[in-house]
């Protein structure tokens, strides 16, 4: 006779089930962060069977780990949505990042293909050089540029007045009082006398210039060298390229981390 083992109690079955559940964020939250619409809209996408995780049609409430799971909407991996383009441009000095200019100066969108129409993610001053993203993905653009959870931006800065003292570097790191309030802590180093590497995640108007001015070292040259996980030392001024899928994924993940951190701090 086959001996029948008693079923484990219900609470133990539930505990087992929850241990077996993948950890991570709810799928609708991840989709919303990737710009598929509000959480409600994303729940509808899942209920309609349009979302597949690791080859299986996803059910509502499923948790996913964006670093591990392969998520597709309508057969397209998330982060690669039809019709959306993501360009990385190395902006030369003298080019404006608005979509038109009353002074007839060159504009950034003329550097990339005219169709589909794109816009710059955030701004760089006309004299600032370096990396800027152009896209037609409004959701991602808002997340990347938004000061409350914007990703890190790194700048190389040549300043007037020679070597910046340790005390002034500390002020730049801890926060400088500007006319629109104290700046958030920044990462600041001086690779050589009078050249600073500054990493900030706020996006205030002319922030780096005003920070350096506030400690008595006006900026002579300002170059953005990194946007979150995106950098490219080989892209020359005036050149552009599309982001790779891996870069796009890294960027959306970086934004998600910042959003999570921001949510937790509140």
- Binding of ligand URA by 208 (CB under 6 A): yes
- Binding of ligand URA by 209 (CB under 6 A): yes
* Interface stretch with ligand URA, choices 4-12, 65-73, 204-212, 251-259 (CB under 6 A): 204-212
Q: Are 226 and 39 in contact (CB under 8 A)?
A: no
Q: Are 157 and 208 in contact (CB under 8 A)?
A: yes
- Binding of ligand URA by 125 (CB under 6 A): yes
> For the chain, first and last CA: distance in Å?
61
Tell the smallest beta-carbon distance from residue 128 to ligand URA (Å): 3
- Binding of ligand URA by 206 (CB under 6 A): yes
Annotation marks residue 56 as catalytic? no
Identity of the residue, 211 or 248, whose beta carbon is nearer to ligand URA in the bound complex: 211
d(CA 188, CA 230): 19
- C-alpha dist (Å) from residue 69 to 24, 36, 178: 10, 17, 44
> Which is catalytic among the residues 44, 101, 125, 232?
125
| Residue 146: burial class (beta carbons within 10 Å; 0-12, 13-18, 19+) | middle
**Where in 84-113 is the site for ligand URA (CB under 6 A)?**
none
d(CA 199, CA 13): 49
Q: What is the total residue count of the chain? A: 266
- Binding of ligand URA by 186 (CB under 6 A): no
* Interface stretch with ligand URA, choices 67-75, 201-209, 237-245, 250-258 (CB under 6 A): 201-209
Kindly list the catalytic residues: 125
Which residues would be at the binding site for ligand URA (CB under 6 A)?
124-125, 128, 206-209, 222
């Amino acid at each position: 006779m086959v001996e029948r083992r008693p079923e484990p109690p219900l609470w133990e079955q539930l505990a087992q089930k929850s241990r077996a559940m993948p950890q991570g964020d709810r799928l609708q939250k991840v989709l919303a962060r990737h710009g598929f619409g509000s959480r409600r809209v994303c729940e509808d996408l899942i209920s309609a069977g349009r979302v597949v995780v690791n080859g299986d049609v996803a059910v509502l409430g499923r948790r996913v780990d964006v670093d591990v799971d392969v998520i597709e909407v309508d057969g397209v991996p998330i982060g690669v949505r039809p019709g959306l383009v993501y360009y990385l441009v190395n902006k030369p000095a003298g080019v404006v990042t608005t979509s038109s200019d009353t002074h007839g100066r060159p504009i950034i969108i003329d550097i990339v293909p005219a169709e589909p129409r794109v816009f710059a993610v955030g701004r760089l001053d006309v004299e600032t050089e370096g990396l800027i993203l152009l896209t037609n993905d409004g959701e991602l653009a808002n997340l990347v540029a938004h000061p409350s959870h914007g990703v890190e931006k790194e700048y190389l800065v040549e300043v007037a007045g020679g070597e910046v003292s340790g005390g002034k570097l500390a002020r730049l790191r801890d926060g400088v009082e500007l006319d629109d309030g104290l700046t958030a802590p920044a990462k600041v180093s001086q690779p050589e006398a009078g050249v600073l590497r500054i990493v900030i995640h706020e996006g205030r108007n002319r922030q780096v210039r005003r920070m350096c001015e506030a400690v008595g070292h006006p900026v002579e040259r300002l170059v953005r060298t990194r946007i979150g996980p995106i950098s490219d030392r080989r892209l020359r001024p005036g050149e552009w390229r599309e982001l790779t899928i891996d870069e796009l994924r890294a960027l959306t993940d970086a934004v998600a981390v910042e959003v999570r951190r921001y949510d937790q701090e509140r």
